[in-house]
Structure 1
Amino acid sequence: MPVLSNQFAYDELVKSMNQRSLEKMDTPLPEDFLILNFSLISTLNESHLLKLEEEFSNEHPDFVRLVHHPIYGALSSPDLYPGIILDLMHNIPFLDNVYRLVDRLQILMNQEWSRPRILFVHCKAGSDRAALVIGTYQMQYLGMSYHDVVKEAEEIAGRPLYSLQRRGLKWIAYYLRDKLNIQSVGEIH
C-alpha cells in the first residue's frame, strides 16, 4: 500500500499504475478515472494503514472508492485430506470468503460507469493476499491455470508465495475445478 509521510500516497500510486500500464499494455492511463480500491488489509495488525485509506477515500470520493475485505489465507493444505473429506470440505465457506469478493470484482468490471475505473487490489506489500484474490479471479473468470497463476504471482513478488496464501490458492483451485467444473484450472500440485 502506498504511504508517504503517514498519508495515503495517491499521486505515487497513480504514477506507478501509469508506468505499469505503459510497460504491460503500451498505453497510458486515461486522463480522468476512478480508482476502486480493494483493500485486503488486516484489522488485526494493520489497522493504522486502513485508517489512512479510509481518511483519503472519505476526503476524495471522486478519486477513490474503498472496499475493505480482509484476507488471510488457509491454515491447512488440501493435500492433507483424502478425496472424500476434501469433497465435503468444498461445501464449507472459505475462511476469507474470497469467492464473494471475486464475484464482486467481476460485477464491478462489467458495470456501466460514467468514467473509466481502475481496480487496485492490494494488501500491505501487494504480493501474497493480493495474489490470492487476483489468482482466484484469473482462474475463475480468465481461464488461467493454477500453475500459471502461482508462477505469475511469484514472478511479481520475486519469491515464493507465503504458505497461508499458497494453501488458500490451492483450496480455491480445487473448488473451482472440482465443484464449479472450471477445467482450465488444470493440474494442482
Structure 2
Amino acid sequence: MGYKQFILLILLTSFVYCGVSPSKVILVDKIGKNFLFRTNSPVQGNSYQMYELQEAMAKKISQAGYQFPQDPKFHSYSLVWLLDSIKQKYTEDKYFKNHTEYQFSHYPIFGSIVNPNSLPNFLAKFLAKYYPIWNHDNLNIITQELRDNLLKQEETPKIIFFHCIAGEDRTGQVFGGYVMRYLNWTYQRSLDFDNQVEDRNIHDESKYGLNWYCYYLNNQGKGGDCTYEPNN
C-alpha cells in the first residue's frame, strides 16, 4: 500500500461509523440481574451514542420477556485496534474518561490468516492443543472475563456489551467463542448465526479465528464439527 492509499484509508475510516444499529444489538446471555449483549460500535462521528444504545437494549430485553433494570451499571468491551480508526478509538476513550460511572475494557481482536481446515487434520488438532500459548486473540481470556462479570451479582444490575466496528466480524468471533464455551452451541450454529447478522458472511480472518477456537474446545468435548463450511 502506497502513502497516498494509506492516507485515503485513514480518511475513509474516519467517516464510516454510523452509530447504533438496533438490528445488531443482540441479547447474548442473562444471569441473575445481569445482561450480556453484542453490538456494533456506538460511535457516530464525534459522539458516543449511549442513549440510543440503551434504548435498543431496553427493547431487546423487553422482547425477551424481561424488564430493563433501573439505573444499571454498564461495562463496554471494545474489540477494535488502533489502525481500525484513530478517530474511533479516540472518541470512545474520551467518552469513558468523561463518564467514570461506566466501565471500559479494551481487547483488540485480529482473527487468523490461517484456515485450520486447510491443514492436515492431525496438524490442526496438534496446534489447537496449544492454542492459548500461540494465538493472539486467545478467546479463553475475554470469554472467561465476560462470563465472570456476568456471574458476579452486585446490588446494582450490570449490562455488559462487546463490539467491534461493524458488529459482525470480530464481534461474531467473540460471540461464537462465548456461546460455544458456555451455552453449548456448535461451531455450525455459531457461524450460521454470525453470518445472518448482516447481509454478508463474516470475514475469513474472523471465521478462521473462531474455527481455531472450535478445535481447541473440541478437546473439552465442545464445539461440534469444526470442519463445517457454510454454503455461500
SS at match of 1:121: strand
Q: 2:171 aligns with which of 118, 121, 130?
A: 130
Partner of 1:87: 125
1:16 corresponds to 2:53: no
| Residue 158 (structure 2) aligned to one of 99, 114, 117 | 117
Within the candidate set 184, 192, 195, 1:151 is matched to: 192
1:3 aligns with 2:40: no
The answer to whether the 8 A contact 1:53-1:66 is kept is no
* 1:146–1:187 CA contact under 8 A, matched in 2: yes
2-structure distance, mates of 1:15, 1:170: 33
**Inter-CA distance 61–79: structure 2 relative to 1 (3 Å threshold):** same
2:112 corresponds to: 74
Task: Give the whole-Å Cα distance in 1 for the aligned partners of 2:154 and 2:112.
Answer: 35
Work out whether residues 75 and 160 of structure 2, in 8 Å CA contact, stay in contact via their aligned partners in 1: yes
Seen in structure 2, the aligned counterparts of structure 1 residues 20 and 158 have a Cα distance that, compared at 3 Å, is: farther
Matched, 1:26 2:80: no
Q: Give the Å deviation of 1:118.
A: 0.9
1:30 to partner: Cα distance: 1.1
Shift of 1:27: 3.0
Distance in 2 (alpha carbons) for counterparts of 1:2 and 1:94: 28
Q: CA deviation at 1:5?
A: 4.6
Secondary structure in structure 2 of the residue aligned to 1:32? coil
Which structure 2 residue ranges, 5 or more long, are not aligned? 1-40
Equivalent of residue 139 in structure 1, options 157, 180, 195: 180
Q: Give unpaired runs (5+ residues) of structure 1.
A: none
User: TM-score when scaled to structure 1?
Assistant: 0.90
The Cα shift of 1:3 comes to 2.4
Note the alpha carbon deviations across 1:143-187, whole angstroms, 9 max, x for none.
01111111111222232111111111111111101x2232xx222
Q: Give the RMSD, CA atoms, in angstroms.
A: 1.5
The percentage of counterpart residues that share the same residue type is 25
* AA aligned opposite 1:15: E
Contact 2:125–2:215 at 8 Å: present in 1 too? no
1:83-118 Cα shifts (integer Å, max 9, x gaps): 332233121432212221111111111113231111
**Separation in 2, partners of 1:150, 1:130:** 12
How much has 1:35 moved relative to structure 2? 1.3
Q: Which moved more, 1:123-132 or 1:52-61?
A: 52-61
Deviation at 1:8, TM superposition (A): 1.0
Q: Which amino acid aligns with 1:30?
A: P
Please say if residues 77 and 163 of structure 2, whose CA atoms lie closer than 8 Å, have aligned partners that are also in contact.
yes
Q: Which runs of 4+ in 1 moved over 6 A?
A: none
One-letter amino acid matched to 2:112: A
**What TM-score do you get using the length of structure 2 for normalisation?**
0.74
Residue 100 of structure 2 corresponds to 61
Q: How many residues align?
A: 184
Q: What amino acid is the match of 2:42?
A: P
Q: Distance in 1 between matches of 2:175 and 2:68?
A: 20
The partner residue of 1:43 within 82, 91, 94 is: 82
Task: Give distance in 1, aligned partners of 2:117 and 2:125.
Answer: 12
Aligned to 1:171: 212
